[in-house]
Amino acid sequence: MNFFTGLYLLLFFFGIFFITIFLILHWRHRKDLFYSPEAKTFPSVSFLVPAYNEEKSLKETVEALMEIDYPKNKKEILIINDGSTDGTLKIAKDLEKKYSIVKVINKKNSGKANSLNHAIRFAKGELIAVVDADSYPKKDSLKKMVGYFEDEKVAAVTSRVLVKNKKKWIERYQVLDYSIIAWTRKLLDFVDSVYVTNGPLSVYRKREVIKVGGFDPTNLTEDIEITWHLLSEGYKTRMAYNAIVYTTVPDNFSQWTKQRVRWNLGGMQTIRKYRKAMFHNPENAFGYFVVPYVSASFAFAIIGIFLVLRYIWIKGAYNLASFYYAFFGYDYLKYIGFDMYVTLLLLMAGLFFTLSIIYYKTGFKNSETGKKSVLKILIYSVTYRSLYTIPLVIALYKLARGDTRWYTK
């Protein structure tokens, strides 16, 4: 067996391994996907809405928060204007005048994490709910999340993010994307491994966030980093699959790429920061599952890119060189013989392909998208999922150059 055949076998093995884990988790907990513990008490909640040049969406976001079904004397809304250069501050001030529970914090531009850390000092709530200024929680979302905090070990609860804008092709693809992400994240909840508390709507126990030093301003994905930090300290994170928030997703390929580049960069920053936690503290899933799983996902994605490029180069050169002979009917098949490792590789590739289809069909069936045909799943996988290599390659290039600037939302 040559080196590259072994590498392909390794990639397929781990792909099959992780997909099987998720399918088993779904089968064992399929009746609990939409369950949330009922809240016995209603702790006070401070909604933190960091806003930088959000004049188009801020008003609608705050009005959605005002509509949330929760005791009025138990919630406040803090809008943090992060040095906006458009009409965001004026809109925020108008909302402050209109609603008594809305307060505006105006500051110089320093990024989302700094804005959140600054606002925490003014937050009166026992819990803080972080809401992006272009996201819109459903009325019942908060009540379906706060029940998890009855467990004192729970430090953060996240929601299911759905797509608000669905007209353009890239927006419709993201509907499928977000559906699979949310379903997978809920499955990780069953093994104490929710490793992202998303920006559109996540609730945190304020004292625990303060205890770990707040949000990391040096990380491009502060929502991932704070989750890993809490998990590394032994706290639990949860996901309320029935708590829904709609968010505005990128409507063009350029913005989509920039967003994914930031996600990749922030993810790799977080792995680097917590890599020493890998295979430490067997009582906690963080070191024995979260860090290895996310690290392996990045590693195999990077290896996969290089293998694809190698395949294209070798096959392209081969086909170009042999085109003349193929044109005149050169018989290549007479040189093909049985090879045990190649046969094993084909079998594993077939198994991986089959399980992937089952994985996507199951995920879509249990999300807002509903049942999808095999053909639609194939189109989604080939035409959209393959695009993920572009932001990953850009992120690797930027990381190699030390360029981790926040340059997109």
d(CA 195, CA 189): 9
Both tokens assigned to 198: 């998303």
Of the candidates 87, 361, 139, the residue with the CA atom closest to the CA atom of residue 243: 139
Q: Around 371, how many Cα atoms within 13 Å sit in the side-chain half-sphere?
A: 1
Both tokens assigned to 200: 């559109």
Q: What residues contact residue 290 under an 8 Å CB cut-off, 6+ apart?
A: 193, 195, 228, 231
Q: Which CATH number fits domain 1-409: 3.40.50.700, 3.20.20.70, 3.90.550.10, 3.40.50.1980?
A: 3.90.550.10
The domain locations on the chain are 1-409
Per-residue pLDDT of the chain (409 residues; tens, 9 = 90+): 678 778 888 889 999 999 999 999 999 999 999 999 999 999 999 999 999 999 999 999 999 999 999 998 999 999 999 999 999 999 999 999 999 999 999 999 999 999 999 999 999 999 999 999 999 999 999 999 999 999 999 999 999 999 999 999 999 999 999 999 999 999 999 999 999 999 999 999 999 999 999 999 999 999 999 999 999 999 999 999 999 999 999 999 999 999 999 999 999 999 999 999 999 877 788 999 999 999 999 998 988 888 877 777 766 666 666 555 555 555 555 545 556 666 787 888 899 999 999 999 999 999 999 999 999 999 999 899 989 999 999 999 998 888 877 654 4
